[in-house]
Amino acid sequence: MRSLIAGFALSIIFTSPTHGQNQSTVKDSINALYTSLFNELKEHYLHTKQVDWPNIEAYIIKEALEHPTLEKSLETSVQLFDTIQGDHLLLFSENNWYKSTLGKQLTASQFNQSLADAYNQNKPFEARVINQNYGYVLIPGMLLKNATRKELDQAGQKIYDAIVHIDTSHNIKGWIIDLRLNIGGNSNVMIAGLYHLLGNGGTHLMLDVDSNVKALTSLNEGVLYENHKVHNAVQPSFKPKPQIPVALISGILTGSAGEFILLGFRSRKNTIIIGEETYGSTTANDLYEMPFGIKAAITESYGTDRSGKYTKTIIPDIEVLKQTNFENLHHDQNILEAIQFIEAH
């Protein structure tokens, strides 16, 4: 996702926004919500020209109106997203979210215990030094769907400042960016936060349904632009190091925003991707306001690196399968491969 991407395996309790309303008001609310959702999808959805909107809209709204509350009616959006093949579409309420069932289904056999434990523990952002010479940054999924621009910039600044602090206080030979727990979120925040390692220039492209370039995302002096529109910004305090070796670690959970970070680095010099094939959500979404505080993340384009070649998933340069060890990174084969790469460059 571009400005917002959510993950695919969270469990959140939903609080009904229609408690205490009579049935007539509920039906009016459902009608208003779905009418707004369809209007935005018709205008912005990447594959809008391939959808039989009149028939689908009539059927979905009829199905939604069968529910006794607005809360329950949101479940119908899953059927809508499946019907129009929107495997990256999402609908957010205040406390819950709904997405298509068409995404890749991960099984327990694909995980090793360390990865599963780290995901369940919701490991936070972390920046530290390994063996005195290697900067390590763990960037998990970061979803700030209600944040102001100021709050988004502050989140990016936190990433940037942590990296610069390490880089200026140690003899850092290279960087390891760990995206194995990054199931999505605000990719613009993350990419702006990584400005010290990316430097100035284009990061990735957005393509329309016919593979024409729709937008260029780029960094300049800490400001992240999409074409000429400012999305996020950090305030640089030191000259960036776009040539320093960087090893990115991907995994089966790396999706959406996590994949967009990989795309942003993939054309960079002295860069390698290590780990496992990513989840496969490399389409770009934007966020739209719906009635009753509900938001829709609508897929608008394909995301690519600077080459303009689209791939649904990202294949690492060096494959390392099920050898995660978050408990002791010195025994993590992905980290060992990353250090070997850095030493060779």
Among residues 298, 301, 302, the alpha carbon closest in space to that of 36 is found at 298
Q: Note whether residue 125 is domain-resident.
A: yes
Q: At residue 84, what are phi and psi to the nearest 5 degrees?
A: -95, 15
The whole-number pLDDT of residue 15 equals 34
Q: Using one digit for the tens of pLDDT, what is the confidence trace for 209-219?
A: 999 999 999 99
Residues paired with 219 in a beta bridge = 201, 224
Judge contact between 124 and 326, C-beta under 8 A.
Answer: no
Residues paired with 217 in a beta bridge = 204, 226
Q: At residue 203, what are phi and psi to the nearest 5 degrees?
A: -110, -50
Q: Is the pLDDT of residue 12 over 90?
A: no
The whole-number pLDDT of residue 17 equals 42
Q: Note whether residue 227 is domain-resident.
A: yes
DSSP of 304-317:
E-TT----SS---S
Mean pLDDT of the chain: 92
Q: Note whether residue 9 is domain-resident.
A: no
Radius of gyration of the chain measured on its C-alpha atoms: 21
Q: Note whether residue 1 is domain-resident.
A: no
The whole-number pLDDT of residue 23 equals 62
Give the total number of structural domains in the chain. 1
Among residues 55, 34, 321, the alpha carbon closest in space to that of 180 is found at 321
The domain spanning residue 319 has which CATH number?
A: 3.90.226.10
Element (H, E) at 63: helix 53-64
The mean-pLDDT minimum among 1-15, 94-108, 182-196 falls in 1-15
Per DSSP, 196 falls in state H
Q: Note whether residue 184 is domain-resident.
A: yes
Where in the sequence is the domain holding 195, given as residue range(s)? Answer: 108-282+301-344
Q: Note whether residue 55 is domain-resident.
A: no
The whole-number pLDDT of residue 147 equals 82
Q: Using one digit for the tens of pLDDT, what is the confidence trace for 118-127?
A: 999 999 999 9
Judge contact between 141 and 186, C-beta under 8 A.
Answer: no
Q: Note whether residue 32 is domain-resident.
A: no
Helix (H, G, I), strand (E, B) or coil at 98: strand
Q: Is the pLDDT of residue 28 over 90?
A: yes
The whole-number pLDDT of residue 95 equals 80
- Length of the chain equals 345
Q: Which pTM was predicted?
A: 0.92
| Sheet hosting strand 318-319, strand order edge to edge | 126-130, 134-138, 174-178, 246-250, 271-275, 318-319
